[in-house]
Structure 1
Amino acid sequence: MYVVTADQRDSRSNADLVPAAIAHVSNRGGTGLTLSPERTAGDEIQFAIADAQALLAIVLDLTRTGTWSVGVGAGGIESPLPTSVRAARGEAFLNARDAVDRAKKAPTRVAITASHGGDDAEALVRLLIELRDRRSPEGWEVYDLLAAGHSQRESAARLGITQGAVSLRAKAAALRAEEAAVPALERVLERLDAPFDESAGPG
């Protein structure tokens, strides 16, 4: 299981973003959510999720804005599960607390703590976020249109530029690199939630 604790950055000088974040996570997480997102302490939100694909999508969404420090904890959760995430306990929650504390000090605003494999997952997710942080507003325009299912031709028409210009923007934004990295990262995250066999050899 994965637990995410996200803390709003500079919350004292900015508007309260918690309600919007809760709505976004609820929509993005869908049926993969085990415990729905709630405000836990101050400007923090927390939720539990079982789906690595949805987890990564949410982490990328929250870190894109630059307004959240995101900690991901992998591990067990005590059963039976309560109805509220604030009443839940377990290793995943302890790991998420460790992770969000470290995320607050990280330039990429994310950290991952797990009993095994967390360091590798964290390094790779941070690498992708560093790539995304370098993306220009024009690159994000193309990203959002393609992510919404539009073709390059349709995106060009919507942006009022040529298809070749869209292709150049996509290249500069490293969209193909992200497209290839995301499935690999999902598999890395899935392994954090798998039983660890200490007797298994490398690979």
Structure 2
Amino acid sequence: MFAMTIDQRASRRDGDRVPQLLDAFEARWPGVVAGSTARRAPGCVRGFERTVGDEVQALFEDAALVVELALWVLRHGGWSVGIGAGPVDEPLAPNARAGSGPAYVLARDAVEAAKSRQRVVPLSVRGAHHQAGLDTEAVLTLVAAIAVRRSAAGWEAVDALEAAGPDARQEDVAAAMGITQQAVSQRLRTALYDESRTAARAGAHLLVSAQG
């Protein structure tokens, strides 16, 4: 299992942004927020909810979904992300806030580590398999760092391609954007789009191993 703890940064300056985060999660991934009217999202065991202060937590069984969520949060900034990979106590608690077990403890350790000002990317991963957790963190930190440095033009191409769906052709994306296919291709290459996707998939595989 994968416990995910996300804590707001600079909350005294920016105010409480937890409601906006939960709304954004629900809009993009219906069913990942506790109390959602949608069916629980595949791979989500216990949906996101506020735990204490400006912090939210959830429990997942799908590593790829955890990676996708983490990278989205890190792209938009303002949050520290901690991921704990390992077993949880059973029977499962009715919600993430009441959950217990190694994965939750590891997620707590991870989010505290992610808050360090020495980190360029506020992400930490802790696993029951310690080294696999560190390896996962290294890969995802690199992917997130690439994303942070991606230009607005690069993100425009990436977002357009992903919104068009897995079978979309660059020609169709280019037509929708009003630019040439060559320009789309150049933007995606500069954005390291294919490389980032491959690395994110590798990070998800490592996260599975981090469960121990």
What is the TM-score when the length of structure 1 is the normalising length? 0.89
Unaligned runs of 5+ in 2: 33-40
Are residue 86 (structure 1) and residue 97 (structure 2) matched?
A: yes
Q: Deviations over 1:62-103 (max 9, x none)?
A: 111111110001112111111121111111111111100111
Unaligned runs of 5+ in 1: 197-203
Alignment partner of 1:55 out of 60, 66, 71:
66
**2:202 alignment partner, one of 171, 176, 184:** 184
**Number of aligned pairs?**
194
Distance 1:52 1:45 in 2: 18
Give the distance between the partners of 1:186 and 1:115, measured in 2 at CA. Answer: 15
| 1:66 paired to 2:81 | no
RMSD of aligned C-alpha atoms? Answer: 1.5
1:113 counterpart SS class: strand
Name whichever of 68-77 and 25-34 sits farther off. 25-34
What's the counterpart of residue 125 of structure 2?
112
Q: In structure 1, the residue corresponding to 2:83 is in which secondary structure?
A: strand
* Superposed displacement of residue 24, structure 1: 4.0
1:201 paired residue number: none
Aligned runs of 1:87-166 on 2, under 5 Å? 87-105=98-116, 106-116=119-129, 117-148=132-163, 149=165, 150-166=168-184
- TM-score, normalised to structure 2, is 0.86
Distance 2:138 2:203 in 1: 10
**Cα drift, residue 15 of structure 1:** 4.5
Q: After superposition, give the CA deviation of every residue in 1:101-120 in whole Å (9 maximum; x if it has no partner).
A: 11111211100011211111
Matching residue's letter, 1:120: D
Do the aligned residues in 1 keep the contact of 2:140 with 2:200 (CA within 8 Å)? no
3-state SS of paired residue (1:31) = coil
- What amino acid does structure 1 have at the position aligned with 2:21? A
Which deviates more, 58-67 or 175-184? Answer: 175-184
Deviation of 1:154 after TM superposition, in Å, equals 2.2
